[in-house]
Structure 1
């Protein structure tokens, strides 16, 4: 079994987009080139909406939520931006509730399918998406949702979502690599950006935990949380360095690979941008928790690490963009992997926001705005194509075609 393949839902959506009609449906005579005028056109039964849900659907919540979070601290603020960002946060929250309900129904109604996801060499890695989706919505609640529901409710909700995401993320960081090491069969050219998904959640926990530090009980609890977040930081950083090296090696020795997997190259920016954000926030919020000397050292580390990692982030952005453009010219089929263009870029926005706030450098402010513009553009494209492929046509939700 080789992992350098698209997931079944992604292959189905790709084939459907190439054919120009819902998979498995024959168009009425005399109406070639048209689609049935109803929702979920490719589905024959309402239960099929939840029949083939995979954990990578949660990437749409991550990508939506990061658009809101990125705007919250963007160096350039203008009237209406915060309100728009709060609306997008609310959309992400609704998506989280609906997708979680749908996933529960999927496990109840189609347990045979759901129970095999962890055995799939590609799908299994995307179990890291649900924990990050929970924490993304939680962070958005603390930064933006408090405007609507109040700070007390926002903090409580964030604690709950952060705890769920943190526990889930630690499980995926251990279990998915374990399955990859012991159960899955990979070829040398199999490494792809999705391998990062199960190990990145602890870095998201570090970022979210840094924001919760002021609301944690003072004393031992708050200091424990601070150092725990640094532990999460190191867990993801070391694992990400190893995996990124494997991806680099695969590109050098085996080339770019199939077009449908090219968007996953952008996932590399996830641990890069998220680690910059985490280092910056942890250093900034360490004051009053540890001694002044230690706090000053942590703040300095955040700046030094942030600028050093930013250099690699800019390099990878340029390389990934060049490869994406090259692939798009030859044909880049739409699939759920397109959400890889959103959350990773959004973490670069939040990282740049933090560095810009610490230094006041105009260059960083400009970079943050440019990355945010790219994020919004990618989100609009991915969201509209996903809505059309799922709610309108239903091809993204349709069960895989029997071989």
Structure 2
């Protein structure tokens, strides 16, 4: 009886499974920024599924922005108070990959500022979004090359241990590129519009070919060594991320390319960019459909085996979210109602997954069991 009362008491007390509240900071890792990504992308998808969800989407965007600020504060505090341990992340084969979630999370906040913030706060928010976007670009470029450099020089990797988390630092650049496509038409200066548009295409090229190279290796790894450990169950969905974001980026950039480039005597190039956006987006969407079906089958297999929850489950949300956004964009570009209906179905699935994972995350955070930094326990490369 005493043991039962003690268990209930521990369950009600916040951070009961941590030895000290400061462990929240000491054990804080970039994995948490994946929750911002998932919340932000759902916010963007909801109004596209039905205009009546605009207020809910705005609320989720504000939540995502608050989460980003909180997580940035906690991660900054970790470097301030436990810098000698925070540096260990660069030597960890897996956790270091999640550094890429920081610029991707920031991109979702920027996108929400353009979709919801202008109507709520006025056009004065656009310069702020512009400044934050350039910060995001720098972070994405750095992640895209420095983390692979660490892989080549400090980490110990093998094909049988490979998972789709290898994509995280690389994909950040194309996410920033798609965000730039949303930002460009809101800028008042035509030169700034062209600069952001051109930079966004460069970011797309900086990321997508490398990401697809990793996907090719991942397919080989899955064929030779079967599925990763159950702790990486959600990683099968991460591959949908660069596919969906690649399609979304082409569509978003191509939509406003004719108007922006025409102002600089490049009207013909703008029309080509628009055509490439639609055709390229459609082909990538088809590739994504194959991966969506495969990831669904893999997930069913994992869940039947009773996969335990961890922060990696946020990997189900963002990849499906960007693929959903690309679906709606295709429907608008091709004026095909079928894509809108499919996008609405994806949004319903996305919202259900987000609610489930969010509840699991809140309960796990309350208990303190999700504040774990694997790099503190693992031997360093």
Q: TM-score, normalised by structure 1?
A: 0.88
CA contact 1:162–1:209 (8 Å) conserved in 2? yes
2:72 matched to 1:100?
A: yes
Could you tell me which of 144, 156, 159 is aligned with 1:173?
144
Match of 1:362 among 337, 342, 350: 337
Summarize deviations over 1:307-339 as a string: whole Å, max 9, x none: 111111010000011011011101111011100
Whether 1:46 aligns to 2:46 is: no
In 2, Cα distance between equivalents of 1:318 and 1:288 = 37
Who is 1:380 aligned against?
A: 355
* SS of equivalent to 1:179: helix
Mind listing any 5+ residue stretches in structure 1 that lack a counterpart? 1-26
Q: Which has the higher contact order (CA 8 A, sep 6+)?
A: 1
1:130 is the counterpart of 2:105: no
Please say which of residues 119-128 and 222-231 is displaced more in the overlay. 222-231
SS at match of 2:156: coil
| 2:5 equivalent to 1:34 | no
Aligned to 2:61: 89
2:254 corresponds to 1:254: no
Structure 2 counterparts to residues 154-169 of structure 1, below 5 A? 155-169=126-140
What are the Cα deviations for residues 25-49 of structure 1, in whole angstroms up to 9, with x where unaligned? xx95353753522211112322112
Alignment of 1:294-305 (within 5 A): 294-305=269-280
Q: Distance in 2 between matches of 1:402 and 1:231?
A: 39
Which residue is 1:183 aligned to? Answer: 154
Give the superposition deviation at 1:71: 2.1
The correspondence of residues 4-403 of structure 1 with structure 2, limited to 5 A, is 29-31=3-5, 34-36=8-10, 37-72=12-47, 74=48, 76-79=49-52, 81-153=53-125, 155-216=126-187, 218-290=189-261, 291-390=266-365, 392-397=366-371
Counterparts of 1:285 and 1:28 in 2: how far apart (Å)?
67
Superimposed CA distance per residue, residues 109-147 of structure 1 (whole angstroms, 9 cap, x where no aligned partner): 111221110110001111100011111101101101223
Q: Mark the CA change 1:185 to 1:372 in structure 2 (over 3 Å): closer, same or farther.
A: same
Which runs of 5 or more structure 2 residues have no equivalent in the other structure?
A: none
Cα root mean square deviation, aligned: 1.8
- Matched position secondary structure for 1:53: coil
More helix by share: 2
Measured after TM superposition, the shift of residue 66 of structure 1 is 0.5
1:161 deviates by 2.2
CA contact (8 A) 1:277 1:351 kept: yes
Classify the secondary structure of the residue corresponding to 2:233.
Answer: helix
Task: Please tell me whether the aligned partners of residues 274 and 348 of structure 1 are also in contact (alpha carbons under 8 angstroms).
Answer: yes
Matched-pair contact (CA < 8 Å) for 2:167–2:211? yes
Equivalence for 1:14: none
Q: Distance in 2 between matches of 1:355 and 1:239?
A: 24
- Which digits, 9 at most, give the CA deviation of each residue in 1:337-376, with x for residues without a partner? 1000101000011101111111121211111111111111
Name the SS of the counterpart of 2:175 in structure 1.
helix
Q: Does the CA-based 8 Å contact 1:89-1:145 persist in structure 2?
A: no
Change (3 A) 1:166 1:39: same
Between the aligned partners of 1:267 and 1:141, the Cα distance in structure 2 is 25
Give 3-state SS (helix, strand or coil) of 2:260's partner. coil
Q: 8 Å contact 1:48–1:399 — kept in the other structure?
A: no
